[in-house]
Structure 1
Amino acid sequence: MQVPRLIATLLLLSSLAFAAEIAELRNGFTIRHRTREMHEGSVRLYIDDQKKSFVDLPAAEVTGFSSEPDPIASRQQSTTSPAKSTGQIVSEASVKHGVDSDFIQSVIKQESAGNAKAVSRSGARGLMQLMPGTASQLGVKDSFSPEQNVHGGARYLRELLERYNGDAVKTLAAYNAGPRAVARYNGVPPYRETQRYVQRVIREYNNSKRHTKTKTASTSRKHPALGGSAAK
């Protein structure tokens, strides 16, 4: 067998085989292959994983072996998009659903402190603490998915803001205690938890606006989706 004559064919085959190892030959050529078997006086190089294509070489012709990263894995690593940050997801949800990104972030901070795996005692889940029933109505299949959860929560905030004519206080009260409670008391229900929740979210929202200097703090109830500060 003439080794040099086989090199061109072997290199062509190996380019299709995504080899993980390289055989270095005495004549300076190399052969990429998947696996090998050593026999007395010879070595068999398998070009594919199925071991259908192979070549036998005199052991004396092989000077050594070296590893090569799998091109498939390398391509997957280079083409796989990195996970989106919460900030990126919030920005996208803000644009899609028309709710101020700082308002969404303020709700997230109060609801879960940014923990995508958070679960409350009542069963609310994810960054924006969606109850299973609410999540289902919003089309959220996985509440622990940051992207699904934030988009679902932002959509719900938008619906509530429209329901209460842009009143951020009633919107937050309904988000926390439910629309029925807001309707029953015609405003923030006399629940300590809900009252503190509304105050904290609005304070965080106004602080965010002051910090970024994008809007000045005020005591208006302007629709957060249109900018401006919520009432304290």
Structure 2
Amino acid sequence: MRFKAVCAGVAMVLAVCPLTHAAEHVTLKNGFELDCARREAVGDKIRLYLVEKGGASDDSNYLEVAADAVVRVETVADVPEPVVAPKIQGPVTIMTAPTKEEMHEMLAHAGEAHHIDEDLLASVVRAESGGQVRAVSRTGAQGLMQLMPGTANAMGVQDAFQPAQNIAGGTAYLDTLLTRYHDNVALALAAYNAGPGAVDKYHGVPPYRETREYVARVIREFNRRKQMALVAQAK
């Protein structure tokens, strides 16, 4: 399985929901942030509705998280112009994150297909979206592994909000980067974040704070997972 580098660091992944009215800025326990039209308690879960149409929330478009996952809510007084994600072929049918078992199965399948360590893929998912199926970045990257529409299309992904498709596409793209940079994981991760052009331009990890923190965060999470596995084996 591919993985070589070791380093540490913290980065925050931001997502934004397209809005047309006043909203709330929600911060989750895992550091993930998003702007939402409204919140609704459903049992021990909180639904964060992402879009408003004609002054009413669109009940088909929401993220569902544990109630204790929300650590801060701030009112957004002046909402910027909407960030609209490009249309994707196929219906969006999954509104909540996969179960731990389902996520493991998808990551394991994708990792086996491309000879990439499952823990590395899980670490990328955590850094990219915090495990949020319908995450959309300010630049239009979508889903668990935050695929740009062009990348998703190139990797054969029809619906970037479908977890299995997103993970398969993100893993395939990471595979191409690992191949391009001769299994240098730090460079592949930097290219995943900033683009291969930036890595090639600087002949290494670009001197962008966001990119360097991103690479460090993914590798730190990977190391954490491996250490936990060793502890579990020792018991």
The answer, yes or no, to whether TM exceeds 0.5 is yes
Matched, 1:197 2:214: yes
Per-residue deviation at 1:86? 1.3
Give 1:145's match in structure 2, choosing from 162, 180, 193: 162
CA distance in 2, matches of 1:179, 1:202: 19
Please report the TM-score for the alignment, with normalisation by the length of structure 1: 0.56
1:36 is aligned to none
CA distance in 2, matches of 1:213, 1:199: 21
In structure 2, how many angstroms separate the alpha carbons of the residues matched to 1:203 and 1:128?
17
AA partner of residue 139 (structure 1): G
Q: Could you tell me which of 166, 186, 189 is aligned with 1:169? A: 186
Match of 1:209 in 2: 226
Per the alignment, residue 77 of structure 2 pairs with none
Structure 2 residue aligned with 1:136, among 146, 149, 153? 153
1:110 matches 2:137: no
For residue 23 of structure 1, what is the aligned residue in structure 2? none
Q: Secondary structure at the match of 1:166?
A: coil
Q: Distance in 2 between matches of 1:199 and 1:89?
A: 24
CA shift digits 1:132-186 (9 cap, x unpaired): 0000000001000000000001111111111111100000000000000000000
- Please report how far the alpha carbon of residue 96 of structure 1 lies from its aligned counterpart in structure 2 after TM superposition: 1.1
State the TM-score, normalizing by the size of structure 2. Answer: 0.55
Residues in 2 aligned to 1:159 and 1:102: alpha-carbon distance in whole angstroms: 18
What is the distance in 2 between the residues matched to 1:94 and 1:189?
A: 26
Report matched runs for 1:2-17 at 5 Å. none
- Aligned identity (percent) is 52
Paired position in structure 1 for 2:43: none
Higher relative contact order, structure no. (Cα contacts within 8 Å, ≥ 6 residues apart): 2
Structure 1 runs of 4+ with >4 Å offset: none
Structure 2 equivalent of residue 154 of structure 1: 171
Cα distance in 1 between the residues matched to 2:157 and 2:206: 28
Amino acid across the alignment from 1:199? A
**RMSD of the alignment, in Å?**
1.6
Over alpha carbons, which structure has the higher Rg?
Answer: 1
Deviation of 1:98 after TM superposition, in Å, equals 1.2
The structure in which a higher percent of residues are helix is 1
**Structure 1 residue identity aligned to 2:220:** R
The answer to whether 1:94 aligns with 2:111 is yes
**Aligned length, in residue pairs:** 133
Q: How many angstroms does 1:205 deviate by? A: 0.5
Letter in 2 for 1:195: R
Offset, 1:113: 0.5
Unaligned 5+ runs, structure 1: 1-81, 215-232
Q: Which amino acid aligns with 1:94?
A: G
Q: Distance in 1 between matches of 2:160 and 2:104?
A: 17
Task: Provide structure 2 residue ranges, at least 5 long, that are not aligned to the other structure.
Answer: 1-97
